[in-house]
Amino acid sequence: MPRDTIVLLGVNHKTTPLAIREKLALTAGYEEPLRALGQLEELREYYLLSTCNRVEVLFTCRNVERSRARVLELLFANAVPKEELDRHIYQYLNDEAVEHLFLVAASLDSMIIGEAQILGQLKEAYRQAAKFECSGFVLNKLLHKSFSVAKRVRTETRIGASAVSISYAAVEMARKIFGDLAGKRVMLVGAGEMAELAAEHLVGQGVAEVIVANRTLQRAVNLARCFNGRAVALEELLNQLEYVDIIISSTGATDLILHKEDVRSVMRERRNRPLFFIDIAVPRDLDPAINDLDNVYLYDIDDLHNVVEMNKSERDKEAVKAQRIIAEEKLKFSKWLSNMESTPTIIQLRAMVENLVRAEVEKSMGRLDGLNALEQQGLEKMVAAITGKMLYHPLHYLKDDNHCISQQDRINIVRTLFQLDTRNDDQDGS
Amino acid sequence: MSFLLFQASVVIYLLSVAAYLVFFLTKKAAMRRVGRAIFLAAFLVHAVNIVARYIEAGHTPITSHHETISFFAWSLGCCYLSFRWRYTVKNLGTFVSILVGALMLVAAFSSREMLPLAPALQSWWLPVHASITLIADGFLALACIGGIMYLLQEREIKTKRFGLFYSRLPSLEALDKLNHHCLSVGFPLLTLGLITGSIWAKQAWGAYWHWDPKETWSLVTWFLYAAAVHQRFTVGWRGRRVAILSIIAFLSVLFTLWGVSFLLKGVHTYAS
């Protein structure tokens, strides 16, 4: 019987503009969508990843077309019309899905190639899926593999070392606007990890003060302490705009927190001193029209990407090396995957048992060529019979379709029991 | 003698334009130093040329078209070097050297004939008025160049499409500071130029103000800059708006300097 197909559906920063991505992002956390996916009987195993730059769902199923339609309907139908969704979404099957996941984990598909955050996000997504028991045998193996691939890429190439992060791009833009950053004030709105990173870079450039505004004041206070800054409540945002120069916004708010008119009124009080807004939240926090105001510059995450693109070429060399590692790992995994079908296991098992029996027979009978043809035939028969009898139950167990344990689990049990995977490596290279 | 020096300075200016353009396109820092050194050499040769012409003509050589344009180019170089001495504005030299080179070419094709000075104009107000006004114009030209650079850079930053200029032009802040500096030096000088001109007019023609086209247009120019300075220093305009205003006002400077002489006739028609 054929094995389940691994399907990966998703949108990322390359295929989809931010305006669509922010509608698709699973802002409410993983629990609810994972539960909803659990209702679909088409899916065997599944997991979800939602970050600033991508929303991806990975699952195994029998009928790809039907599962795809149902998953998309379930997750995204409310957010974006179907035709539009179809234009942006990509779909990878089996090997391609594996490769894509590895690329994502190794941060080769990131907006900023080589940034380390994605691996953490991937692990968190997997942890959630595992918590609700959504991932099974194949996905567990696949995701664990993707973590180790990411690690391998990171240690064997310099891709992480020369990574130019979003935050670095933000600093570069700030320098193009303000020239010297000494004496400038930065405000973080929302205490996200990305914002923290950007603030760290800016502090490195000598900014005078870091102000943190957050919905929960306690977190703001904690973060502000890291930068020797001060914390304010989110409600004070507008008042603070008069004093700060760079605003990094990364709240989880679903609506805009700052509109064009708010900023326009502030500019008068600022005597038109420039303001630089960086919106790294998805969905966006800041009204895109803010950019139309004089002396106000608004960059969202896609725009920063363009800045990053400009100094990318150096990292491309390391990316080639990383691609090779991924191609290698993909091959290994697809070999493992093909072992998951029962036929190779049966053949392997048969071969292994037969070899064992034959070896024992040979040992006890001494040299076999002393026998005549008839005796030899008899021995062959005996070897075949013992093999057949020994394997009857395991094979039955493998082939039977009415088990409460899934076939893949059964294959795995048999393979573990007979140590097929460890033996396999040193016996044949096929 | 002065003619030879003039031609030498034109050639050296053009060389510095070439060096600066190479720097602009390749972003090689060495070319920048080369361009700057050549520009400085041209500037010095040019200065000697002006002194030589002064000796040959017997009066301040800011009367004919050729002389005015040449002196204007020199004062622009002077303003640039004085600014460059205090601040670094990336690639400003490229833009300035192009403008100076262009002015020198225009001067090279104007009549170099030395005209005898009308008796009414023989006064030491001539060097004072003319040089102050032209140096003011030099600063204002620099403000205009800064404005153009600001608009180019701001457009790329605003639209987020990074093309030729983004990496080659300095920060918006530096360009705005350039505008600030040039307006705050250029405007008082312009005012001083107007005042000295008017005193000289009283001396030469008996009245402070004649409302001849040149005077009227200088007043228009002065009001444009007064507006820019006012908006900048009291209302707090900056960036794009002041940049645009500086460019418009400088067009008015150019018109006052030459347009008026060709299109409208008046007492300032020194070129006739």
Active site residues of A: 52
**Distance (Å) from the alpha carbon of B17 to chain A's nearest alpha carbon:** 25
SS3 A210: strand
Higher pLDDT residue, A97 or B84? A97
**Distance (Å) from the alpha carbon of A177 to chain B's nearest alpha carbon:** 5
Instruction: Give the nearest partner residue to A177 out of B171, B237, B241, using CB atoms.
Output: B171
In chain B, where are the structural domains located?
2-263
Query: Which two structure tokens, joined as six digits, stand for A297?
Result: 């510059």
Instruction: Give the nearest partner residue to B160 out of A175, A294, A306, using CB atoms.
Output: A306
> Is B153 close to A176, i.e. CB distance below 8 A?
yes
Q: Identify residue B205 by its one-letter amino acid code.
A: W
| Cβ partners under 8 Å of residue A236, min gap 6 | A213
If phi over 0 gives left and psi between -120 and 50 gives alpha, with beta otherwise, what is residue A104? alpha
**A104-127 pLDDT, tens digit each:** 998 888 776 677 778 888 898 899
CB of A104 closer than 8 Å to CB of A96 = no
Reported confidence tier of residue A362, pLDDT bands at 50, 70, 90: confident
Instruction: Give the nearest partner residue to A297 out of B157, B161, B167, using CB atoms.
Output: B157
Instruction: Give the nearest partner residue to B158 out of A291, A306, A310, using CB atoms.
Output: A291
**A154-191 pLDDT, tens digit each:** 888 766 543 445 777 788 888 889 888 888 899 988 87
Q: Is it the case that residue A310 has pLDDT exceeding 70?
A: no
How many CB pairs (< 8 A) connect A and B?
Answer: 48
Q: What is the pLDDT of residue A294?
A: 86
Helices (H), A157-216: 166-178, 193-204
Instruction: Give the nearest partner residue to A178 out of B167, B173, B237, using CB atoms.
Output: B173
Q: Identify residue A264 by its one-letter amino acid code.
A: R
Q: pLDDT exceeding 70 applies to what percent of chain A?
A: 89
Q: Identify residue A310 by its one-letter amino acid code.
A: M
Q: Identify residue B24 by its one-letter amino acid code.
A: F
Query: Which two structure tokens, joined as six digits, stand for B271?
Result: 């070129």
Q: What is the DSSP string of B131-174?
A: HHHHHHHHHHHHHHHHHHHHHHHHHHHHHT---TTTTTS--HHH
| Cβ partners under 8 Å of residue A39, min gap 6 | A74
How many angstroms separate the Cα of B137 from the Cα of each of A189, B250, B257? Answer: 47, 8, 9
Higher pLDDT residue, A373 or A390? A390
Which range scores top for mean pLDDT: A52-61, A309-318, B61-70? Answer: A52-61
DSSP letter for A183, please: T
> Is A297 close to B158, i.e. CB distance below 8 A?
yes
| Cβ partners under 8 Å of residue A164, min gap 6 | A112, A114, A308, A311, A312, A315
Query: Which two structure tokens, joined as six digits, stand for B28?
Result: 């090689």
Q: What is the pLDDT of residue A427?
A: 45
Query: Which two structure tokens, joined as six digits, stand for A31?
Result: 């629990």
CA B89, B91, B95: angle at the middle one, nearest 5? 110
Using an 8 Å CB-CB cutoff, list chain B residues near A169. Answer: none
> Is A177 close to B238, i.e. CB distance below 8 A?
no
> Is A274 close to B171, i.e. CB distance below 8 A?
no
Lowest mean pLDDT among A267-281, A388-402, B3-17, B34-48: A388-402
Q: What is the pLDDT of residue B19?
A: 92
CB of A107 closer than 8 Å to CB of A319 = no
> Is A299 close to B160, i.e. CB distance below 8 A?
yes
CB of A157 closer than 8 Å to CB of A324 = no
What is the rounded distance in angstroms from the CA atom of residue A253 to the CA atom of residue A282? 9
Chain A contact probe: residue of B150, B158, B173, B244 with most A CBs at under 10 A: B173
Buried b (16+ CB within 10 A) or exposed e, B98-118: bbbbebbebbeeeebebeebe
If phi over 0 gives left and psi between -120 and 50 gives alpha, with beta otherwise, what is residue B158? alpha
What is the rounded distance in angstroms from the CA atom of residue A70 to the CA atom of residue A58? 13
What is the rounded distance in angstroms from the CA atom of residue A114 to the CA atom of residue A116? 6
> Is B160 close to A180, i.e. CB distance below 8 A?
no
Structural fold of domain A166-310: Rossmann fold (3.40.50)
Q: What is the pLDDT of residue B266?
A: 57
> Is B157 close to A176, i.e. CB distance below 8 A?
yes
Structural fold of domain A5-162: Beta Polymerase; domain 2 (3.30.460)
Residues pairing with A12 in the sheet:
A54
| Cβ partners under 8 Å of residue B33, min gap 6 | none
**Average pLDDT value for residue range A115-144:** 86
**Average pLDDT value for residue range A381-389:** 87
The sheet with strand A54-61 has its strands ordered as A43-50, A54-61, A5-12, A90-93
Using an 8 Å CB-CB cutoff, list chain A residues near B152. Answer: none
Reported confidence tier of residue A73, pLDDT bands at 50, 70, 90: confident
Which run of H or of E encompasses A47?
A: strand A43-50
| Cβ partners under 8 Å of residue A249, min gap 6 | A189, A190, A195, A257, A258, A277, A278, A279, A280, A281, A285, A286
What is the rounded distance in angstroms from the CA atom of residue A210 to the CA atom of residue B94? 38
Using an 8 Å CB-CB cutoff, list chain B residues near A299. Answer: 160
Token pair 């104009």 in the structure block, residue? B121
Q: What is the pLDDT of residue A158?
A: 67
For chain B, helix, strand, coil in percent to 5 are 80, 0, 20
Q: What is the pLDDT of residue A399?
A: 73
Q: Is it the case that residue A146 has pLDDT exceeding 60?
A: yes
Q: What is the pLDDT of residue A425?
A: 47
Lowest mean pLDDT among A224-228, A382-386, B6-10, B88-92: A224-228
> Is B236 close to A175, i.e. CB distance below 8 A?
no
Distance of CA A4 to the CA centre of its chain: 21
Task: Work out the burial of residue A35: count CB atoms within 10 Å of its CB; fewer than 13 is exposed, 13-18 middle, 19 or more buried.
Answer: exposed
> Is B238 close to A273, i.e. CB distance below 8 A?
yes
Q: Identify residue A55 by its one-letter amino acid code.
A: V
Q: Which residue of B has its CA nearest to A181?
A: B173
Q: Is it the case that residue A31 has pLDDT exceeding 90?
A: no
Q: What is the pLDDT of residue A1?
A: 43
**Average pLDDT value for residue range A251-269:** 86
**Distance (Å) from the alpha carbon of B119 to chain A's nearest alpha carbon:** 52
Q: pLDDT exceeding 90 applies to what percent of chain A?
A: 6
Query: Which two structure tokens, joined as six digits, stand for A18?
Result: 């931010």
DSSP letter for A3, please: P
Measured CB to CB, residues of chain B less than 8 Å from chain A are: 153, 157-158, 160-162, 166-167, 170-174, 177, 236-241
What are the pLDDT tens digits along chain B (272 aa)? 678 888 899 999 999 999 999 998 888 888 888 999 999 999 999 999 988 888 887 777 887 788 888 899 999 999 998 888 777 888 888 999 999 999 999 888 877 777 777 777 777 888 888 889 989 999 999 999 999 999 999 998 888 887 788 878 889 988 998 899 999 999 999 999 999 988 888 888 788 887 888 888 889 999 999 999 998 888 888 888 899 999 999 999 988 887 777 776 655 554 33
Q: Which residue of A has its CA nearest to B158?
A: A297
ipTM, two decimals: 0.83
**Distance (Å) from the alpha carbon of A198 to chain B's nearest alpha carbon:** 19
DSSP letter for A70, please: H
Using an 8 Å CB-CB cutoff, list chain A residues near B240. Answer: 294-295
Q: What is the pLDDT of residue A394?
A: 85
SS3 B66: helix
pTM score, whole prediction:
0.65
How many angstroms separate the Cα of A283 from the Cα of each of A25, A26, A47, A308? Answer: 7, 10, 21, 21
Q: Is it the case that residue A233 has pLDDT exceeding 70?
A: yes
Using an 8 Å CB-CB cutoff, list chain B residues near A291. Answer: 158
Q: What is the pLDDT of residue A429?
A: 38
Residues pairing with B181 in the sheet:
none
Q: What is the pLDDT of residue B222?
A: 93
Using an 8 Å CB-CB cutoff, list chain B residues near A294. Answer: 239-241
Token pair 């949108």 in the structure block, residue? A11
